[in-house]
Structure 1
Amino acid sequence: MQGGRWRRIGGQAGRSITVWAVSTLTLLVLAGILPDFRLQSPSGDSATRIAVTAAFGAGAFGMLSAVVWPLLIRLLLLVPALVLGLLVFFLNGSLLLLALRLNPSGEPQAAPETAVVVAAVMSAVASATGGALAVRDDDAYRRRLYRLSDRRRRRLPPGPSAPGTVVVQLDGVGHDVLRDAVGAGLMPTVARWLGAAPGQRPSHRLTPWRTDWSSQTGASQLAILHGSNHDVPAFRWYEKETGEVMVSNRPASAAELQRRAVERTGDAGLLAVDGAGRGNLFSGGAEELALVLSVSARRGRRTRSRSGYFAYFSDPANAVRTALSFTAEVAREIGQSLRARFRGQRPRVGRGGLYPLVRAFATVVERDVVTAAVMGDLLAGRTAVYADLVAYDEVAHHSGPLGRDTRSVLHRLDRCLALIEKAAEHAPRPYRIVVLSDHGQSPGETFRARHGLTLGDLVRAGCGLPVPRRAADVRVDAGQRDSARSGAEARAAVRAALRRPAEEPSPRDRPAGRRAEPVVLASGNLGLVSFPDVPHRMTEEEIDARHPGLLRTLADHPGVGFLLVASEEHGGLVLGAHGARIPLADLDARPGPLAAFGPGAADAVRRTHSFPHTADIMVNSSHDPAGGDVLAFEEQIGSHGGLGGAQSHPFLLSPLALSPPCGADGTDGEVVGAEQVHRVLRRWLREADGPRIPVGEQPDRRAA
């Protein structure tokens, strides 16, 4: 044992000396080719003196990178993530200038802009050399990956241990999109798992599943991690008793939704036993968290919203590489946007402003940080890990789910899966890698582009309220038309861009007798209309008495597929064009407007009707079954949130070592609803880690 220890020390020393030597050589080469960087005095020095100067400079830069850089990154946690790239280059160059000034000869000099370039190259070369040497030594490679995790570490007892489970969520990737990407050679890692190449034996199975009516991350991931998405009717909705708009990706809302789910199930979550959550909306009860929205507002070392960045960026090479990739992604998005505009591509939405930076953050920074955190979790031997990679979903919203832009994102996500698989090979326990998506995406124009008005405009017209001039030709049964002030229209556009609710006064501040304007919210191709001055959910009869033309205006519009409203006579009704009016109890025999939305639509609508916070009017856009297109009520050409098309059909990619997914009746039927996915994952965790994983009581999906 003593000899093994000395061999490890000797190996580490050898690797450090090799990295130092390569860094010294790199510094000499850069000094020879960059005009504003020199290692010798103006009068010239001997070759030996220049070599010593380079060696000292390389060593000092390496020491500063190892000691000072992590402290600087701690300070960077206070800086907005979108300015991280510029700071990375500036700080790395500053460390090089400091290393040169510490040189006893006092001769090395570099212009500040040249120092940035030299520091970036030095960091990349040192990291590549150290990584290449470590790969040849399993113990060294394991330690290198292990340093990526920023958490209290524990070591498993020696000897065989139960398999762990890592679940990677590819946000927004539909079942058909994944299958087509594998067939096109874009995802070789997934193709290998599925045995797609001749002579390969599959290690995984690919299974589609069907979402709830609310086909979006908030509802799906809440149910997957916490077992219940009861009373989550959409991505955003209005709650009358508080006068607040709940938004799934708002920290306060996410925390409240998680609290409600835990209260309903009596179970902390899927990850409550030795779990880790990375990049998710909800914690799943995990002990170790990073970049998890529902805890981002809390204070504490392990729950800070950006604490997960430290581990990754504490390596300056990671920081430089990600900053370069971030810059390249911004340029790629600008180029792709200009190409789409010059070609007159349709459909198309605006992609200016801060969007290139947001896309680069989702497709580079978040991807790299979450992947590194998962690799660290595997090396730490965590029992269960759940991580969300949002890159595809973000790009598909603006570029469409089937275009060239998203194909390149899928290829890079496959490389992330390959890195996770490689880390699992060096983990202290075996791992089973599950990949899934929370929903798909459906292509199509926006409602506004197709019909020249927003859903809010249409609702105001149906209520006889002033509408913008561009919507003044909307015909309503009540025959009332007017035009809105341009200023009001501009403010509404700004609020929509900021995802803010309409500025309505609270009930106690509203003058007596004044009727509040409706609150109209959008979640992809699902719209919600609420009347804030009525404390309960309004019925069809009440809405008709108040606004006689509203329901018919909405139901008969060609961009609307169907409506859901409460009814005093029937309990609930689905309304469609041409006077269609079908009670919920009769939908199985008479699907009416739901027929175009496929099997399961009636059950999904009935379940949402039972929610306490279902809006007064639920509006689902029209759907073309032939092309799978929907009309988004938001400015998105790839959308999800309602019924129609690929958005309702995500996937489960699971190892063959785990039991097959099955339906609610325990057979091989289709997995329906995110709550059923939770039960499947919990079963797999129990199969892998035995009785330590509790079964947990599951709510009745039919409960009102």
Structure 2
Amino acid sequence: MRLRLPPWRAVGSAVLRVLAVWAVGTLTMLLLAAGLPDFRLQSADGDSATRIAVTAAVGAGAFGLLSALVWPLLVRALLLVPALVLGLLVFFLNGSLFWLALRVTPDRGDVNPETAVVVAAVMSAASSATSTFLAVRDDGAYRRRLARLAGRRRRREGTAGPVDDAPGVLFLQLDGLGHEVLREATEGEHPVMPTVAALRAGTHRLTRWRTDWSSQTGASQLGILHGSNHDVPAFRWYEKETGEVMVSNRPSCAAELQRRAVARAGTYGLLETDGASRGNLFSGGARQLALVLSVSARRGRETRSRAGYFAYFSDPANATRTAVSYVAELFREVFQSLRARLRRETPRVPRGGVYPFLRAFVTVVQRDVVVAAVVGDVLGGRASVYADLVGYDEVAHHSGPRGRDTRQVLRGLDRAVRMIVKATEHAPRPYRVVLLSDHGQSAGQTFEDAYGLSLEDLVRAGCGLPVSRRAGRTSSGAEAREAARAALHRPEEPGRSRLTGRRRGQDRPPRGHGPVVLASGNLALVSFPDVPGRMAREAIDARHPALLPALADHPGVGFLLVRSDAYGPVVIGAGGCELRLDTGEVTGGGDPLAPFGPGAADAVRRTAGFPHAADIMVNSRVDPATGEVHAFEDQIGSHGGLGGEQNEAFLLSPLRLSPPVASGELVGAEQVHRVLRRWLREARRTPGVRHAHPLAEARGDDGRTAAGERVG
């Protein structure tokens, strides 16, 4: 697609914009020189107002020219620098360019290095804001600029030919946003997410889909992007043959999981044909990558995940805006955390340490870079893009799925979606925009806060091993410990502390023979490293007779999954009730999976067949009335197991695409992958007809969306 306008008009508009930006830069420099004591625009002997203005104009022009010519080269040279370090270097490099610009006017301007950084940042922001304002006001200029960017990108990638007119597909993942929370945020007179509400009311359908037992990003996104999440039993698990703990968001583990999924599925992934992966754990087979964890430790032009930073930091004003927003988010988190403590809000978890910095990074820096990368993909006419916006998930862990803090994050995500959707107006091809989530979140008090001991302490008590003093003082820990001693015929010796469980050296279990307990939200995995393969229930009972009853009968535990030599996979609940998954037989009372809703048995049965399912898999209880669960980590909004809204994700898809399912329920990440693949095939077969913009179709006669927000 080429945009042609009379040459004189295009040149005239460009000259006017340059002059306007130059004038704003000059005025900004004069104001800063008047307000900052360490910055002057006159010689030591003094100058006239006219001479000072000329000095400011020359300095602003030189700074603008250097920023345009030198800045992109500097950023490209620093692509291998970590993101946070690059973000800091941006300011020092920008200040250096400004200091150099002042050297163009000898004996006139003077500024110390620290002030140069401040002046450069303010001037970049002012110039960028002016340029953006004028471009948006002049729609033709805006379209021409975007068309040039698209053509430049295609030439750089060696695909400078015309872009296919078939619609492209954008998949925007709102990490951790459950179906019900999304529905609530898009309803009412003043919805929290007006842009998404407009899509839902006009051009899109909302569909609920049910996650696998491992309701977390590692399993869900691997299945969605690569078509297989086989043998991903949790967010973290222990592999006995290697003695290593696999963690889904560890770069080396993510790379290994991707390799296994590709081998099992037989394809590179959802994005293997002209696709881009932005901000994800896995690549999806895309060659264009930015902030992709599975390739973050690798080097090379084809796999360099940090290349997306170039598109963002090549404009120094981006760094300025992001830094200001980052600092504001830091202060916002400190204030919100302090307010929660003063109000004695419950449940509550610690929010100090590095968390404020992590929250600011994912809700500001990562969001901004991912959005910029996606906008660049749209302008370049990429056929398919999958991007993950993770801010809501991180904040909801600490503030709850429906907290005041999370509503603020949802508004920010809505603005990000709006920016991306608006960019499709200027793309060289039409786009289908699909919003989806990988899981939801379930609220609830942590297991340790509710019962005074961690699950690891409970497991160790059930095994007759030493536990922490706090755990020993709780009724759960003491009862489990005494039950274990009675079962092992080891009554407590007089004078010994039953809190610490200290015993003679010969009674202490050999080093390394203790259980490994790993938490993934409200799902925990217990493994015995010294027993090769899956340890059978019979062997567990023989070795630790009190362990399974202590776990199953605990009020905070919903059910256990073990493997029996006699009956295969067995789900154990309180009071001796059991469900034998191979036959469906229930013994000892009711079905232990009944409180977890329909489909729970199928989800647990599938995981029971994974080679790396743990010796004992523990799922917390769920409150049938409220859907609350108990996380085995410090999270008041959690996901990873069964129970509540964590298992209810969403798909918000255009009506022009076929319905996700003809009938019944959409279950599992692998089935979602098949749906998305079908939509990509449908888009490629669609004739290249320009359709109205998705937000425009949701407007009423007065140009307002169904949610009442002005768009245009």
TM-score of the superposition, structure 1-length normalised?
0.89
Q: Does 1:188 align with 2:189?
A: no
Q: Deviations over 1:13-66 (max 9, x none)?
A: 332232112211222233334444322234432333222211110011112222
Supply the distance in 2 between the matched residues of 1:4 and 1:583 (Cα, whole angstroms): 77
Supply the distance in 2 between the matched residues of 1:387 and 1:428 (Cα, whole angstroms): 20
Post-superposition shift, 1:182? 1.3
> Which residue does 1:286 correspond to in 2?
286
Structure 2 residue identity aligned to 1:134? A
Structure 2 residue identity aligned to 1:27? M
Post-superposition shift, 1:142? 1.0
What does residue range 170-319 of structure 1 map to in structure 2 within 5 Å?
A: 170-183=174-187, 185-195=191-201, 202-319=202-319
Supply the distance in 1 between the matched residues of 2:397 and 2:152 (Cα, whole angstroms): 31
2:567 aligned to which of 567, 570, 584: 570
Judged with a 3 Å threshold, the aligned counterparts in structure 2 of structure 1 residues 147 and 291 are, in CA distance, closer, same or farther, namely farther
Judged with a 3 Å threshold, the aligned counterparts in structure 2 of structure 1 residues 242 and 390 are, in CA distance, closer, same or farther, namely same
- The answer to whether the 8 Å contact 1:290/1:308 transfers is yes
Q: Deviations over 1:471-502 (max 9, x none)?
A: 12421322367668799xxxxxxxxxxxxxxx
> Which residue does 1:497 correspond to in 2?
none
Q: Does 1:92 align with 2:94?
A: yes
- The answer to whether the 8 Å contact 1:145/1:423 transfers is no
> Which residue does 2:453 correspond to in 1?
453
> Which residue does 2:673 correspond to in 1?
678
What does residue range 441-480 of structure 1 map to in structure 2 within 5 Å?
A: 441-473=441-473, 474=477, 475-476=479-480, 477-479=483-485
Supply the distance in 1 between the matched residues of 2:513 and 2:148 (Cα, whole angstroms): 60
Q: Deviations over 1:584-630 (max 9, x none)?
A: 13548786121111111010000000111100000000111211111
SS at match of 1:233: coil
Higher mean alpha-carbon deviation, 466-475 vs 546-555, is at 466-475
Percent pairwise identity: 68
Structure 2 residue identity aligned to 1:246? M
What does residue range 500-519 of structure 1 map to in structure 2 within 5 Å?
A: 516-519=513-516
Post-superposition shift, 1:335? 0.9
Higher mean alpha-carbon deviation, 625-634 vs 92-101, is at 92-101
Judged with a 3 Å threshold, the aligned counterparts in structure 2 of structure 1 residues 284 and 525 are, in CA distance, closer, same or farther, namely same
Post-superposition shift, 1:637? 0.8
Supply the distance in 1 between the matched residues of 2:500 and 2:109 (Cα, whole angstroms): 66
Post-superposition shift, 1:86? 4.3
- The answer to whether the 8 Å contact 1:145/1:375 transfers is no
Q: Deviations over 1:305-334 (max 9, x none)?
A: 422212101100001100111111111111
Post-superposition shift, 1:4? 4.2
Q: How many residues align?
A: 658
> Which residue does 2:524 correspond to in 1?
527
Post-superposition shift, 1:155? 5.7
Higher mean alpha-carbon deviation, 131-140 vs 49-58, is at 131-140
Kindly report the root-mean-square deviation, in angstroms, between the aligned alpha carbons of the 2 structures: 2.6
Judged with a 3 Å threshold, the aligned counterparts in structure 2 of structure 1 residues 139 and 669 are, in CA distance, closer, same or farther, namely same
- The answer to whether the 8 Å contact 1:467/1:483 transfers is no
> Which residue does 2:351 correspond to in 1?
351
Supply the distance in 1 between the matched residues of 2:675 and 2:271 (Cα, whole angstroms): 14
Post-superposition shift, 1:145? 6.2
> Which residue does 1:11 correspond to in 2?
13
Supply the distance in 2 between the matched residues of 1:164 and 1:613 (Cα, whole angstroms): 38
Q: Does 1:559 align with 2:556?
A: yes
Structure 2 residue identity aligned to 1:152? R
> Which residue does 1:116 correspond to in 2?
117
Post-superposition shift, 1:261? 0.9
- The answer to whether the 8 Å contact 1:85/1:326 transfers is no
Higher mean alpha-carbon deviation, 287-296 vs 143-152, is at 143-152
Provide structure 2 residue ranges, at least 5 long, that are not aligned to the other structure.
503-507, 688-712
- The answer to whether the 8 Å contact 1:31/1:38 transfers is yes
Q: Deviations over 1:383-436 (max 9, x none)?
A: 110000110011111111110100000000000111101111100000000000
Structure 2 residue identity aligned to 1:169? Q
Q: Deviations over 1:561-594 (max 9, x none)?
A: 0000001111111101111122113548786121
Supply the distance in 1 between the matched residues of 2:651 and 2:368 (Cα, whole angstroms): 23
Q: Does 1:613 align with 2:612?
A: yes
Structure 1 residue identity aligned to 2:75? I
SS at match of 2:205: strand
What does residue range 131-142 of structure 1 map to in structure 2 within 5 Å?
A: 131-135=132-136, 136=138, 137-142=141-146
SS at match of 1:631: coil
Supply the distance in 2 between the matched residues of 1:10 and 1:301 (Cα, whole angstroms): 39
Supply the distance in 2 between the matched residues of 1:512 and 1:653 (Cα, whole angstroms): 54
Supply the distance in 1 between the matched residues of 2:459 and 2:180 (Cα, whole angstroms): 35
Structure 2 residue identity aligned to 1:132? F
Judged with a 3 Å threshold, the aligned counterparts in structure 2 of structure 1 residues 513 and 456 are, in CA distance, closer, same or farther, namely closer
Structure 2 residue identity aligned to 1:564? L
What does residue range 258-657 of structure 1 map to in structure 2 within 5 Å?
A: 258-473=258-473, 474=477, 475-476=479-480, 477-479=483-485, 516-587=513-584, 592-657=591-656
Supply the distance in 1 between the matched residues of 2:522 and 2:24 (Cα, whole angstroms): 56
Q: Does 1:37 align with 2:43?
A: no
Provide structure 1 residue ranges, at least 5 long, that are not aligned to the other structure.
196-201, 488-510, 693-704
SS at match of 1:208: strand
> Which residue does 2:165 correspond to in 1?
161
SS at match of 1:232: coil
- The answer to whether the 8 Å contact 1:168/1:436 transfers is yes
SS at match of 2:172: strand
Higher mean alpha-carbon deviation, 147-156 vs 282-291, is at 147-156
Structure 1 residue identity aligned to 2:630? L
Q: Deviations over 1:316-356 (max 9, x none)?
A: 00011001111111111111111111111111111111111
Post-superposition shift, 1:70? 2.8
Structure 2 residue identity aligned to 1:176? E
Supply the distance in 1 between the matched residues of 2:650 and 2:18 (Cα, whole angstroms): 45
Judged with a 3 Å threshold, the aligned counterparts in structure 2 of structure 1 residues 222 and 418 are, in CA distance, closer, same or farther, namely same
Higher mean alpha-carbon deviation, 588-597 vs 448-457, is at 588-597
